[in-house]
Amino acid sequence: MNFKTFNFHPLVAAGIAAAGYENPTPIQAGVIPHIMRGCDLMGLAQTGTGKTAAFVLPILQRLAAGDRGSIRSLIIAPTRELAEQIHQAIEILGRPAGVRCVAIYGGVGIHPQIQKLKRADIVVACPGRLLDHIRRHSIELTQLETLVLDEADHMLDMGFIPDVRQIFKHLPVNRQTLVFSATMPHEIRQLAKTFLNDPVTIKIGVTSPADTVSHAFYPVAHHLKTALLLNLLENSNAESVLVFTRTKHRAKSLGKKLMTAGYQAASLQGNLSQSRRQASLDGFRDGKFKILVATDIAARGIDVTRISHVINYDIPSTPDTYIHRIGRTGRAARSGEAYTFITGEDKKMVNAISRAIGSNIEQRILPTFNYGGTSHNVAYRSRQDKKLHQKKTEERKRHNRRTSMTRSFV
């Protein structure tokens, strides 16, 4: 199948060409015809499948034809990063058609948003700030034709469903509603029942990890995880590393420890201000930071293509989350490594992940690491190893001072 099948308006086709897309992805091929027919739809697909363009292109098709200058499409996303990412995709795809898009989320000033909302065709919003605008009457939604809820299951995880239900009360009843979600928990099924009108459901199977990724488990005692991470980083040729921790606090403190060890590292977690989150993300994307330490929620939907290693400092809580995390490496035929630190308590999840991957994952022991150590400082097998480590740390720090790239973004 190719994009010509959909008979897009020439200005929409120009946007597709500008983005460099040649053929539709499976989710696009599956949902675009239904959305263009005006149906309500439930799309089950993960990030990385091309789901953003799957709903953006039919929205642009509608806008290319009708009047402009009022909000005709609203996209609700759970995180600021995802909202910003959708906004950027619309900027590229919608530029030839001249559509005006604004992203609205908390953590930044509300007044510039109020001005932009007056002229927008498409709004991408996080639920909290959108409700703020609705309550202040600074958003006019009477002309709304299409509503998209993106990553609905993550909205549920983040406790946004009551806000979403509130928002629905302020929208015209006569509209097309599209819901995208990677999974279908009971609450999302209920939401769809209430707010979707005879929806079509399209499911794109959980993407299995790319063949280009190799997986390994690293058994380690909890208190030695940081030392093991430093050892691994020192002894690998990792170019761009995404490290996952379970908690915000751990993401922050690990980011700091990596910087102290001389790495160009940043963290991405919910406690950061919007500008710092963006700086961490941009710095990681353009290679200024070699390591990004993130929580699942902060990293949700982030699309950085050049990741050589994903390291699960803490094992993910479901096999789906594992697949989602490591889906960020080994993209586009590059090879990638997925390392997961495991402790004695993780046995059940280790088995569940192996089953999901469909093979036994190798358990690796590092010969250069002192597994009997009691803390970070004694986790070297010999004095020589420790000296070598200190020398490398100094070298990294000198290099960073020369390039003055180690900045405090954690």
The residue ranges that bind ligand AMP (CB under 6 A) are 21, 24-25, 28, 47-53, 303
Query: Is 254 within 8 Å of 293 (Cβ atoms)?
Result: yes
User: Structure tokens of 266?
Assistant: 């940043």
Place of tokens 């001072």: 401
Q: Which is nearer to ligand AMP, 290 or 300 (CB)?
A: 300
CB of 58 to ligand AMP, least distance (A): 13
User: HSE-up of 187 (CA within 13 Å, CB side)?
Assistant: 13
CB of 214 to ligand AMP, least distance (A): 22
Which of 129, 122, 130, 128 is CA-nearest to residue 147? 122
Q: Which is nearer to ligand AMP, 134 or 304 (CB)?
A: 304
Query: Is 156 within 8 Å of 185 (Cβ atoms)?
Result: yes
CB of 3 to ligand AMP, least distance (A): 8
CB of 250 to ligand AMP, least distance (A): 26
- Give the three-class secondary structure for 43: strand
CB of 136 to ligand AMP, least distance (A): 31
The burial of 37, by beta-carbon neighbours within 10 Å (0-12 exposed, 13-18 middle, 19 or more buried), is given as exposed
Residue 7 CB contacts under 8 Å (≥ 6 apart), including other chains: none
Q: Which is nearer to ligand AMP, 51 or 252 (CB)?
A: 51
Which of 287, 280, 281, 282 is CA-nearest to residue 308? 287
Q: Which is nearer to ligand AMP, 75 or 188 (CB)?
A: 75
Q: State the alpha helices, DSSP H only, in 261-346.
A: 274-285, 296-299, 319-326
Cα 284 from Cα 304, distance rounded (Å): 8
Q: Output the CA torsion 363→369→373→377 (10° steps).
A: -130
Q: Which is nearer to ligand AMP, 231 or 308 (CB)?
A: 308
DSSP bridge pairs for 336: 213
Q: Which is nearer to ligand AMP, 24 or 209 (CB)?
A: 24
CB of 125 to ligand AMP, least distance (A): 17
Cα 302 from Cα 280, distance rounded (Å): 12
CB of 307 to ligand AMP, least distance (A): 13
Q: Which is nearer to ligand AMP, 126 or 261 (CB)?
A: 126
Cα 124 from Cα 113, distance rounded (Å): 11
Phi, psi of 338 (to 5 degrees): -120, 110
Which of 116, 279, 92 is CA-nearest to residue 125? 116
Q: Which is nearer to ligand AMP, 25 or 343 (CB)?
A: 25
User: Structure tokens of 293?
Assistant: 């330490």
In eight-state DSSP terms, residue 118 is T
Cα 141 from Cα 277, distance rounded (Å): 30
CA 85, chain centre distance (Å):
9
CB of 56 to ligand AMP, least distance (A): 9
Q: Which is nearer to ligand AMP, 82 or 191 (CB)?
A: 82
Q: Which is nearer to ligand AMP, 148 or 338 (CB)?
A: 148
CB of 161 to ligand AMP, least distance (A): 22
User: Beta strands of 192-286 (E only): which ranges?
Assistant: 200-203, 213-219, 241-244, 265-268
CB of 48 to ligand AMP, least distance (A): 5
